[in-house]
Amino acid sequence: MNGRRLPLARALVRRVVETVLKEERREGLVSVTFLGRDSMRRLNAEHKGHDRPTDVLAFALNDPAGRMVGDVYICPWVAQREARAHGVTLRQELVRLVVHGTLHALGRSHPEGPERTRSAMWRCQERYVETLA
């Protein structure tokens, strides 16, 4: 973030990712990058066709050894708005997004719309957030 302070401590981000990988019984490498509003808008437009910033984007591929390699991009600006709207702390929302992005990088998915929060992935995510945030 151009020398700016990270919105979540590196050690916490690492612990969250490692916990999700361990509990999901998966091996892999996951990078987590925090982006500003404009950078996230551009990434979302380029990869998802939505010309607006979003809270989290995740991408996955397998390395030659068959291990999962994932990139998770999080926008603290959107996360702050979501945290306020849902009455949670920014820290809790950012942990939720690290978990969410990691699960997506592992291949987990959820439906769009209101049923999203009733999906198996969402319930799994919230169990992690409860113990990690």
Tokens standing for residue 52: 């607006």
Backbone torsions φ then ψ of 37, nearest 5 degrees: -55, -45
pLDDT band, residue 66 (cuts 50/70/90): confident
The pLDDT assigned to 1 comes to: 42
Average pLDDT over every residue of 62-68: 81
pTM above 0.75, yes or no: yes
pLDDT band, residue 4 (cuts 50/70/90): low
CA angle 127-131-133, nearest 5°?
105
pLDDT band, residue 64 (cuts 50/70/90): confident
Tokens standing for residue 112: 């769009």
Average pLDDT over every residue of 14-41: 95
**Which residue type is seen at 72?**
V
**Which residue type is seen at 14?**
R
Nearest to 94 by CA among 3, 13, 4: 13
41 in a structural domain: yes
Alpha carbon distance 46, 54 (integer Å): 12
Q: How far, CA to CA in Å, does 20 sit from each of 44, 98, 131? A: 24, 10, 11
3 in a structural domain: no
The pLDDT assigned to 122 comes to: 92
**Which residue type is seen at 31?**
S
How many domains does the chain fold into? Answer: 1
Most distant CA pair in the chain, distance: 43
62 in a structural domain: yes
Q: Which domain holds residue 128?
A: 10-132
Average pLDDT over every residue of 2-19: 85
| Mean pLDDT, all residues of the chain | 91
Alpha carbon distance 93, 16 (integer Å): 13
The pLDDT assigned to 95 comes to: 97
126 in a structural domain: yes
72 in a structural domain: yes
Alpha carbon distance 18, 26 (integer Å): 10
**Is 2 a residue whose pLDDT tops 60?**
no
CATH number reported for the structural domain that contains residue 18 in this entry = 3.40.390.30
127 in a structural domain: yes
